Amino acid sequence: MGETLMQEAQVIPLRSPEQRRRSNRTFTDRVDSRPVVAPTPLRPAPEPAGVQQHLANALGFLRKRLTGEYAVDEFGFDKQLTDNVILPPLRLIYEKWFRVEAIGTEHLPSEGGALIVSNHSGTLPLDSVMTGIAVHDNTSPTRYLRMLGADLVFQVPLLGALARKTGQTLACNADAERLLTAGELVGVWPEGFKGVGKPFKDRYKLQRFGRGGFVSAALRTGVPIIPVSVVGAEEIYPKIGDLKPLARLLGFPYFPVTPTFPLLGPLGAVPLPSKWYIEFGEPIRTDQHDPADADDPMIVFNLSDQVRETIQQTLYRLLAQRPGIFRG
């Protein structure tokens, strides 16, 4: 009896062979029909950021300096040193202290030579430095302002070497024409020490532009003249006096007295945080003239007067529009 029941149990399958085959095919079909998922690629190593990026840049800069992998042009201009060492701290002053607002930067050419002519003020020539940063940071591709400096700049040991490294050269027609012919942006401040050292009561009143040597250089090379007006620099060191005997002793054109200097000593050398505006005007073409016009005193005078008047009228407009000396 028990044996019969066991035999009967063995012949009663739970599923027939056909059902099992169908079930296996269905499972296989489901597995084969699943989409093939590609393996997740490994994430690339993150780029250094913040302090790490600055450290990497600094180490790269030091390596190039030690191995001599940098170039200096015939005037002594060192782009690598300027970009990595000189400009970063000056840019902080430009952006955070003076809060410079550059206007009309679309007038700066992306290529080719041009003569940048600006008013000069501020007791110390920080306006030229800030104008150079405005040019550098608002041109694409990046361009550098090759400034023409007075002899005194290059007679001071450390300052003279630094000026050469950042692209400055003597304010003479020969150097100006070489740079303009090479397609550089050249900066000139025709007022000279008369402008930068004028008393506070004469602020924003342009001084004489000299003999117009900058116009002659532009005419000979056929480059445009871009008038530039700077508002804000007059208030950084309000000059209320001049210690002339001390200036003669030191060989300076003037020795300024301001409300804070020399009364507060080194602290008085900190410039006041005025709000700056630098406006680049519409270029004045010179290529319509013959290069020989550079020797015509009347043409040179007329162009020089046109540039001077353009800058002066722009200064008046900017002064009328600004909300305050330190606001903005």
| Predicted confidence (pLDDT) per residue in 109-131, tens digit | 999 999 999 999 999 999 999 99
Domain range summary for the chain, segments of one domain joined by +: 80-236+271-321
Q: pLDDT > 90: what percent of the chain?
A: 74
Structure token pair of residue 179:
């740079």
Question: Smallest Cα–Cα separation from 119: which of 110, 132, 128?
Answer: 128
CA 293 to chain centre: 34
Query: Which helix H or strand E contains 250, and what residues bound it?
Result: helix 244-250
d(CA 222, CA 196): 29
Q: pLDDT > 70: what percent of the chain?
A: 84
Structure token pair of residue 234:
């007059």
CA 48 to chain centre: 24
pLDDT beyond 80 at 36: no
d(CA 51, CA 53): 5
Per-residue pLDDT tens over the stretch 53-90: 767 777 777 777 777 777 899 999 999 999 999 999 99
pLDDT beyond 70 at 10: no
Is the domain covering 80-236+271-321 a CATH 3.40.1130.10 domain?
yes
pTM given for the model: 0.82
DSSP class of 282: P
Per-residue pLDDT tens over the stretch 214-271: 999 999 999 999 999 999 999 999 999 999 999 999 999 999 999 999 999 999 999 9
pLDDT beyond 50 at 8: no
